[in-house]
Structure 1
Amino acid sequence: MSQRYSGSVALVTGAASGIGRATAARLRDEGARVAGLDLTAVDVDGVLPVTADVSDEAAVAAAVERVAAWGGRLDLVANVAGVAAYAHTTDVTLAEWDRILGVNLTGTFLVSRAALPHLVAARGAIVNVSSLAGVRGWRYSAAYSAAKGGVVALTRSLAVEYAPVGVRVACVCPGSVDTPLKAGLQPVPNPHPRLEGRGGALVDPPVADPDEVAAAIAYLGAAEARFATGAVLRLDGGAGA
């Protein structure tokens, strides 16, 4: 495998499972020293486990400083941590709204903000994970769609602000991916029949493997993707074509 990350230090959030775990392993295999941050223990060979809640400002600041001190630098942040739930909008409590935005959007902001001084020094990169739900309407996902749409807007804003100092920012928008997050989603009661099956992938199989998303993250975070800053890459199997 290419060693395009040799000598680099990367921080991956949500690294205990799914896309985050696959991304941590991919970056490690490409030569990076990788720290994996999650609420639960990260068990990936060769990856430094860091436990923190991405929606906790103080915990995030401490975790990022720990990783930067451990690695001596910080070249890449992959913001993968996320939570989701299906619900009729009238059933979404304020607590649930705050939880979903807190992890997906506020967490992405807090980790990025804490890492930016180190990334400026290294002329590094941020790759955020949004979702197909962040760029098109998605059924029964008001809070999740709002959060992931915010990640897209945050990505573009940071890309513009930090391009002059050499920091690249991009994001990927996966459709359906075979992860524990997807497996844990519960269907809503009494869905409208016209919404069933809306937005499905056209490829076979119609569900992506986490490694496919990790490969895209590894590309966007690498120096060869210099001209992709601000990019919003849809990985949806043709669902939005």
Structure 2
Amino acid sequence: MTSAVVTTGRYPGRVALVTGAASGLGRATARRLADEGARVACLDVTEDDAGLGPAGLAVPADVRDERAVRAAVTRAVQWGGRLDLVVTAAGVASFGHTTDVALDEWERLLAVNLTGTFLVARETLPHLTKTKGALVTVSSLAGVRGYRYSAAYSAAKGGVVALTRALAVEYAPVGVRVACVCPGSIDTPLTRELTPVPDADPRLLAHGRALVDPPVSQPEEIAAAIAYLGSAEARFATGAVLRLDGGAGV
């Protein structure tokens, strides 16, 4: 699926950095921003420029690795000459009974989803301050309401929401906008590879299900919202936590 409607003129001359850009929501976001005129540094553990050609730069890095993130941001800024928008779409997920969650898995989910978001934000905010740019983080419906079998994932994504709000307050005086999207289910390789929870309580299976049909969004739909939040049109949306869940959280 491609973007149904593209608003032109929002990103010509702008440079973005998108994490998790090799697949899923990150890739759709990188493509959307490029469609709107941006040059996009594509940060992922896989070296992949999201198929953007001259408009893209593959920047391989693991968001959990402080030194790798610092080097990747430096390379992106050297390539683009500036940084106007950062989107932290890199993420991992798993679901299970809380008593079955190993400590290693708890730490992996927090490291990629929360610590990775923090490290990328910390390294890019000085550059965004120079351009009065924007940071858009990616949380989840599970980060703003109770969600079945997701203690570790919810804790990490809830942390992303709290981090977003703190950064929005801290950086508003210097002109940097910070906002967050909280999608429900998205049709991505990540979600398709999730293992069903064994012995799930049937009373919880419909919990968190979208009200619209089909109940799963396409990554391009979420990418369109990210492109808005990262643009100057969203000046008044700093600190916003935008739920894109098809009514699941109503």
Equivalent in the alignment of 1:176: 185
Deviation at 1:93, TM superposition (A): 1.0
Equivalent in the alignment of 2:96: 87
Equivalent in the alignment of 1:29: 35
Query: 5+ unaligned residues in a row in structure 1: which ranges?
Result: none
Supply the distance in 2 between the matched residues of 1:65 and 1:116 (Cα, whole angstroms).
12
TM-score, normalised to structure 1's length? 0.99
Q: Which amino acid aligns with 2:71?
A: A
Q: How does 1:109-188 map to 2 (within 5 A)?
A: 109-188=118-197
Equivalent in the alignment of 2:198: 189
Equivalent in the alignment of 1:11: 17
Which deviations, in whole Å up to 9, do the C-alpha atoms of 1:170-225 show, x marking residues without a partner?
00000010000100100111111211111110111111000000000000000110
Select the residue among 44, 52, 67 that pairs with 1:45.
52
Q: Which amino acid aligns with 1:88?
A: H
Which deviations, in whole Å up to 9, do the C-alpha atoms of 1:19-58 show, x marking residues without a partner?
0000000000100110111011324223211110001000
Which deviations, in whole Å up to 9, do the C-alpha atoms of 1:58-109 show, x marking residues without a partner?
0000100110111110010000000000111111111111100000000000
Equivalent in the alignment of 1:102: 111
Supply the distance in 1 between the matched residues of 2:64 and 2:52 (Cα, whole angstroms).
26
Deviation at 1:229, TM superposition (A): 0.1
Do 1:81 and 1:104's aligned partners in 2 also have CA atoms closer than 8 Å?
Answer: yes
Supply the distance in 2 between the matched residues of 1:12 and 1:89 (Cα, whole angstroms).
31
Supply the distance in 1 between the matched residues of 2:136 and 2:208 (Cα, whole angstroms).
24
TM-score, normalised to structure 2's length? 0.95
Which deviations, in whole Å up to 9, do the C-alpha atoms of 1:81-138 show, x marking residues without a partner?
0000011111111111110000000000000000011000010000000000000011
Supply the distance in 2 between the matched residues of 1:64 and 1:50 (Cα, whole angstroms).
8
Equivalent in the alignment of 1:238: 247
Supply the distance in 1 between the matched residues of 2:205 and 2:212 (Cα, whole angstroms).
18
Q: Which amino acid aligns with 2:27?
A: R
Do 1:3 and 1:29's aligned partners in 2 also have CA atoms closer than 8 Å?
Answer: no
Supply the distance in 1 between the matched residues of 2:126 and 2:225 (Cα, whole angstroms).
25
Supply the distance in 1 between the matched residues of 2:9 and 2:35 (Cα, whole angstroms).
8
Q: SS where residue 123 of structure 2 aligns?
A: helix
Supply the distance in 2 between the matched residues of 1:85 and 1:205 (Cα, whole angstroms).
23
Which deviations, in whole Å up to 9, do the C-alpha atoms of 1:126-153 show, x marking residues without a partner?
0000000000011111110000000000
- Kindly indicate whether residue 236 of structure 2 is the aligned counterpart of residue 227 of structure 1: yes
